[in-house]
Amino acid sequence: MPEIHRREFLKLVGASAGAAATVGCSDPVSKLIPYVIQPEVIVPGIANYYASTCQECSAACGLLVKTREGRPIKLEGNPEHPINQGALCARGQASIGRSYHPDRYKTPMKRVGDKLEPTTWDDAIAILSGEIKRAGNRTWMLGGQTGPTASAWIDKWVEAVGAGGRVVYEPFAPEALREATQALFGVASEPVFDLSGSDLIIDFGSDFLESGPSPTEHARQFAEARDIAKRERGGARFVYIGPRLSMTASNADEWVAAKPGSEGLLALALLKVAIGAGGGTQAGRDGVAAPLAKIDIAAVAKQADVPLATIERIGKALGAAKSPVLLPPGVALASRRAAATARAVMLANWALGAVGKGVSIPAPRDGKLPSYHQTLALVDAMKQGSVGVLLVHGSNPVYSLPPSTGFSEALAKVPFVVSLASMPDESSERANLVLPDHTPLESWGDAEPRPGIRSLVQPTLRPIYDTRALVDTLLDVARAMGADVAAKVPTDSFRALVEQAWAGTDFHAALAKGGVFAAQPGVEVTLVGSAVDFEMAEPALEGDGDFTLLTSPGALLYDGRGANLAWLQETPDPVTKITWVSFAEISPRAAEKLGGLVFGDVVEVETKAGKLSLPVVVRGGVRDDVIAIAIGQGHTVGLWSSGTDSGHPGEARGVNVIDVLPALTDESGGRAWLLTKAKVTNTGRHEKLPICQDSQNQRGRRLGLAVPLAELAAGDAHVEAEHGAADAVPGAGESAPGYPAHGEAAHGEAHGSHEMIKAFDASMDRAPDSPYRWGMTIDSDKCTGCSACVVACYIENNISIVGEEQVRRGRHMAWLRIERWVGDGNLEGGQDRLPIFPDAESSSTVDIRIAPMLCQQCGAAPCEAVCPVIATYHADDGLNGMIYNRCIGTRYCANNCPYKVRKYNWFDFALERWPDPMYLMANPDVTVRGQGVMEKCTFCVQRVASARQIAKNENRVIRDGEVTTACAQSCPTHAIQFGNLVDKTSAVAKAGSEPVRGYHSLEELNTRPAVTLLAKVQRGTVEG
């Protein structure tokens, strides 16, 4: 029971007043027991931060693990880490949940009959070593990518135990890209893209802001490249080429909805125009003359279904660009000709002189790399029964390999399957023996995302259960197999191994810092002779049907590894705002063709490989001939990943689109995803989906504003005019923090109410003697909608997960949500109960406004006035306080909040949705809310409070930047600024005083918000 667990925390924290304030009087009072022997590093109530490395994807961002009394309670980015520089994406934030996941294997398990039963390590090791002895070289290892140290050692181990070999398998591996680089420059490594210096970014569907090679890093660079304050003429332009308006594409200036598969041709066509317009280096022009000669732009325009004019225009712009960067397709558009496509794009990069500037080719990495064709080869071997023992680690092939590979059957042919997963998944459930691995927070390890950037993983949590690190397990096996075997892999433990590997460095300094960061520059490359002679043709698609099946990586679930993290399931999809379920995106025209489908109608999607049925989302952001389904759902095992959470154990949650993909590769043998056509038929069924934004049409209400670049230049005059208007208002004495930019005509409505707006100074809304008025500035021109802040908020504030059914009933608890608006909107929609996706989304000029919405901490808060019991009030430092214990649940405040940021505990969510041992990760500084109380954002008041304590001890005021909220801390683009509005020199005050872009959400209501939004900048389509 969380109540009790929270009290345990309080014991440790030694809270007295705090406890009294946060605990209802009815609760029993229990003793506070101090440490008998005070651990040196642990001061009760004070957090310790340890540097480590995120293991969620290959980007390997640096972590600061915030621990309290020996327990990690939150993951934050490591500011000193060169990759993420302090930010951390949603997936990284949520990954803390792995350690406290209720599903975890608590001991080794062995199969007895048809189910797994607990056993001891000795027993398990004995069994395994025996099996390996018997199987000898018929022993194989199949697993995800591990850190360099572990990887190298495991190869040694495979040799030592005389196993057949090891295959590294990652569902999303940039094999085609590596192949292309090899072919072009003779260097087999995936290129590194740096967008920060670029002035024109053309993305051929890599979705670099969500599922690319290094999303957090790229988001930061993207924001730098487009920083209105620093870059002249609005900074970099961004063109997105791809069939679906993804989260990344929503940040583009222009969307070219090209036919999927035509990217390579488009790249060459654009290059041809660019060079024709005098772009590119001399070497480049000469180098690519031959292949470009074969390119007929008009024909490409036809094939790609893109207006010729568009290609001409963008091509010219490309030619004129000083430092363009072209990003090759990612997973979604990895066709059967992925290698050629990547080659075409990289060739363009090289010809335009991007290679060496925005694009660098690192030295090839040593050690085993993921390989899909090796994986398929292993599957064949398994089918032929030539695999005796299969060790599976760090991956879930049963889920992520297409059934058409026959992996499942092949696995049945393997006499002894060992899983080293730490949590049950489709693969581990098939194992004969499960040797649970530590979670990354419990384990040692290292990573080397780039040559020279070496990042350490250190344990920050004593293993909660009887688990062992992969390497230690294998080590024990080796020992059990005999001294001679053990001698071939000489080390005492994984920790010792890591220390050996880092021998050259000051290990403790590295631990403190998070690693050794000496990035090596990319290697000098020149075009190899044979580089340019390749055929760039459109890829063939399997099967028939009117639709091309587009399978994009889940923006939050990635390849499905995020599915068992409740936070990622409950955080709305950045584009459609749907949670927990699978859905297919089709265009309104397509929906019309299929008999007038609407949001939630269930369709059947059939390919050669199989069929599945799922509800549709009808939105303009998809090509008419494409049906887009995200990868990641459809698990049948796991508390939150499967139907278990909704009371259907063993049933799939949503659908796994991989099930209907053929097992085909690209030319390089890498895994291809854009493979097949699909027949789509209407089943006539309808489902209500758990969606969190009922309308992306803001009806011209001042929620998400945008300002054309031109108007920004002519800003000051414009502001003067506005001030005139403001002063005309009676009582508009104080200095106005800036007035909203005019969007287009559509919100003439809002303009009508302009004279109702009173100018005000938010910093005045505090107690006269208070040195603080906390405020926030959110720059919607920088916000990409990645949702890192949302997850950060969930974990910082112990926000309850409510689950699919409750979200469906509109009871999502997030304190911070990211609203996505399509343009200024119009007055259409709302007659029925269906969510609204404006058709305007299909426009090639992207006008998506992303406005994070959280409690505005109003100076004249409508919620406060109506609470009968003063459960919410205006604190001295200007915060809109919320006293949970005083709340009796009339819910009047929530009715009266125009922003609708107050969330109500309809059930005892804290009790029902925090199964053991999840309570261990609860933030002891934040009350866990009980049934029947209202809750909301208070600018992480607990963080403010601790900062104030420190300042008080040194009797000074809190310095700017000394305290920040969880959301601001996690933001890769620094779109969110938090600070003290009284201090006019503070970052937040400066940012908030942006003359033209600054505005307040719904300000005609005169609620005097402390949150200032900065309007999105409309850079318009790219011009040559």
Partner 1 sequence: MTPPPGESIAAMIRQTPVPPDSQTNRDVMNIFMTTPGLGWLLLVGICLGGLGGGAAVWIYQIYKGLGIAGYSHPIFWGAYIVTFVFWVGIAHAGTLISAILFLFRARWRNAINRSAEAMTIFAVFTAQLFLGIHVGRIWKAYFILPYPNQRALWVNFKSPLLWDTFAISTYTLTSLIFFYVGLLPDLAIARDRTTGWRKALYGSLALGWQGTSRQWKSHNRTVLHLSGLATPLVLSVHSVVSWDFAMAIVPGWHATIFAPYFVAGAIFSGFAMVLTVMIPVRRIFSLEHILTNYHFENMCRFLLLTSTIVTYAYFIEYFIAWYSGVEAEKTAFYLRLFGPYWLSTWIMIVCNGVIPQLFWFKKLRTHIPTVFVISTLINVGMWFERYVIIITGLSREFNPAVWGHYTPTWYELMIVAGSFSFFSILFLIFLKLFPVIPISEVKELVIHERAHASGQPAGAH
Partner 2 sequence: MPTLLGVFTTPAGVVQAVTHLKGRGFTNLDVYSPAPFDEIEEAVDPKPSKVRIFTLVGGLLGVVTGYAMTIWMSLDWPIVIGGKPFASIPPYTVIAFELTILFGGIFTLIGLLVVGRLPSLKVGPGYSARFSAEEFGLVVEVPERDVAEVDGLLRASQATEVSLVAA
Rounded to whole angstroms, the Cα distance separating 900 from 894 reads 6
Is 931 near partner 1 (CB under 8 A)? yes
Q: Contact with partner 1 (CB under 8 A): which of 899, 939, 978, 999?
A: 899
Q: Contact with partner 1 (CB under 8 A): which of 116, 498, 867, 1017?
A: 867
Contact 1005, 858 (CB under 8 A): no
Q: Contact with partner 1 (CB under 8 A): which of 698, 763, 880, 986?
A: 698
Q: Which does 891 bind (CB under 5 to 8 A by kind): partner 1, partner 2, none?
A: partner 1
- β-pairing, 626-631 vs 547-553, is parallel
Is 41 near partner 1 (CB under 8 A)? no
Q: Contact with partner 1 (CB under 8 A): which of 294, 685, 809, 952?
A: 809
Q: Which does 809 bind (CB under 5 to 8 A by kind): partner 1, partner 2, none?
A: partner 1
Interface stretch with partner 1, choices 361-369, 436-444, 651-659, 688-696 (CB under 8 A): 688-696
Question: CA 521, 523, 528: angle at the middle one, nearest 5?
Answer: 160
Interface stretch with partner 1, choices 395-403, 444-452, 867-875, 1015-1023 (CB under 8 A): 867-875
Rounded to whole angstroms, the Cα distance separating 840 from 825 reads 8
Is 579 near partner 1 (CB under 8 A)? no
Nearer to partner 1, 725 or 866 (CB): 866
Rounded to whole angstroms, the Cα distance separating 148 from 168 reads 13
Interface stretch with partner 1, choices 175-183, 209-217, 927-935, 982-990 (CB under 8 A): 927-935
Which residues have C-beta within 8 Å of that of residue 260, sequence separation ≥ 6?
A: 205, 242, 243, 333, 335, 548, 550, 623, 626, 674
Is 864 near partner 2 (CB under 8 A)? yes
Q: Which does 641 bind (CB under 5 to 8 A by kind): partner 2, partner 1, none?
A: none
State the nearest-atom distance from the C-beta of 579 to partner 2, in Å.
Answer: 33
Interface stretch with partner 2, choices 26-34, 251-259, 750-758, 859-867 (CB under 8 A): 859-867
Contact 52, 65 (CB under 8 A): yes
DSSP state letters, 871-925: SEEE-TTS-EEE-GGG-----HHHHH-TT---EE-SS-HHHHS--TTGGGGS-TT
Is 859 near partner 2 (CB under 8 A)? yes
DSSP tally for the chain: helices H, then strands E = 33, 37
Is 874 near partner 2 (CB under 8 A)? yes
Residue 421 Cα distances to 427, 519, 899, angstroms: 9, 32, 43
Instruction: Report the 10 Å Cβ neighbour count for 247.
Output: 24
Amino acid at 167: V
Is 923 near partner 1 (CB under 8 A)? no
Q: Which does 874 bind (CB under 5 to 8 A by kind): partner 1, partner 2, none?
A: partner 2
Question: CA 988, 789, 239: angle at the middle one, nearest 5?
Answer: 90
Is 176 near partner 1 (CB under 8 A)? no
Which residue from 418, 466, 463, 535 is spatially nearest to 140, judged by alpha carbons?
418
Number of residues that bind partner 2 (CB under 8 A): 15
Which residues have C-beta within 8 Å of that of residue 61, sequence separation ≥ 6?
A: 53, 54, 77, 78, 81, 83, 84, 87, 88, 89, 92, 214, 216, 217
Which residue from 270, 242, 235 is spatially nearest to 1019, judged by alpha carbons?
235
Q: Contact with partner 2 (CB under 8 A): which of 46, 865, 869, 950?
A: 865
Q: How many residues does the chain have?
A: 1024
Is 892 near partner 1 (CB under 8 A)? yes
Amino acid at 673: W
Rounded to whole angstroms, the Cα distance separating 927 from 18 reads 10
Interface stretch with partner 2, choices 208-216, 864-872, 949-957, 1009-1017 (CB under 8 A): 864-872
Is 8 near partner 1 (CB under 8 A)? no
Nearer to partner 1, 908 or 960 (CB): 908
Element (H, E) at 1011: strand 1011-1014
Rounded to whole angstroms, the Cα distance separating 527 from 351 reads 10
Beta strands in 180-310 (DSSP E): 192-193, 200-203, 237-241, 254-256
Nearer to partner 2, 46 or 767 (CB): 767
Number of residues that bind partner 1 (CB under 8 A): 61
Nearer to partner 1, 28 or 529 (CB): 28
Nearer to partner 2, 695 or 872 (CB): 872
Nearer to partner 1, 108 or 600 (CB): 600
Is 767 near partner 2 (CB under 8 A)? yes
Is 891 near partner 1 (CB under 8 A)? yes
Is 836 near partner 1 (CB under 8 A)? yes
Is 917 near partner 2 (CB under 8 A)? no
Alpha helices in 106-240 (DSSP H): 121-135, 148-160, 175-185, 215-225
Rounded to whole angstroms, the Cα distance separating 806 from 216 reads 31
Class of residue 3 by CB neighbours under 10 A (exposed 0-12, middle 13-18, buried 19+): middle
Name which of residues 949 to 1008 contact partner 2 (CB under 8 A): 1008
| Residues 50-89, mask of contacts with partner 2 (x by CB under 8 A) | ----------------------------------------
Q: Which residues of 133-164 are buried (b: 16+ CB within 10 A; e: fewer)?
A: bebeebbbbbbbbbbbbbbbbbeebbebbbbb
Which residues have C-beta within 8 Å of that of residue 714, sequence separation ≥ 6?
A: none
Nearer to partner 2, 30 or 895 (CB): 895
Nearer to partner 2, 4 or 870 (CB): 870
Is 903 near partner 1 (CB under 8 A)? yes
Interface stretch with partner 2, choices 272-280, 341-349, 655-663, 869-877 (CB under 8 A): 869-877
Contact 515, 523 (CB under 8 A): no
Is 760 near partner 1 (CB under 8 A)? no
Q: Which does 859 bind (CB under 5 to 8 A by kind): partner 2, partner 1, none?
A: partner 2
State the nearest-atom distance from the C-beta of 618 to partner 1, in Å.
Answer: 18
Q: Contact with partner 1 (CB under 8 A): which of 887, 920, 988, 1014?
A: 887
DSSP class of residue 46 equals: -
Nearer to partner 1, 732 or 834 (CB): 834
State the nearest-atom distance from the C-beta of 884 to partner 2, in Å.
Answer: 17
Nearer to partner 2, 363 or 729 (CB): 729
Q: Which does 737 bind (CB under 5 to 8 A by kind): partner 2, partner 1, none?
A: none
Nearer to partner 1, 364 or 862 (CB): 862
| 3-class SS string, 508-524 | HHHHHHCEEECCCCCCC
Contact 858, 1007 (CB under 8 A): yes
Contact 139, 132 (CB under 8 A): yes
State the nearest-atom distance from the C-beta of 895 to partner 1, in Å.
Answer: 5
Is 888 near partner 2 (CB under 8 A)? no
| Residues 713-752, mask of contacts with partner 1 (x by CB under 8 A) | ------------------------------------xx-x
Instruction: Report the 10 Å Cβ neighbour count for 290.
Output: 10
Is 869 near partner 2 (CB under 8 A)? no
State the nearest-atom distance from the C-beta of 931 to partner 1, in Å.
Answer: 5
Rule CB under 8 A: which residues touch partner 2? 765, 767, 858-865, 867, 870, 873-874, 1008
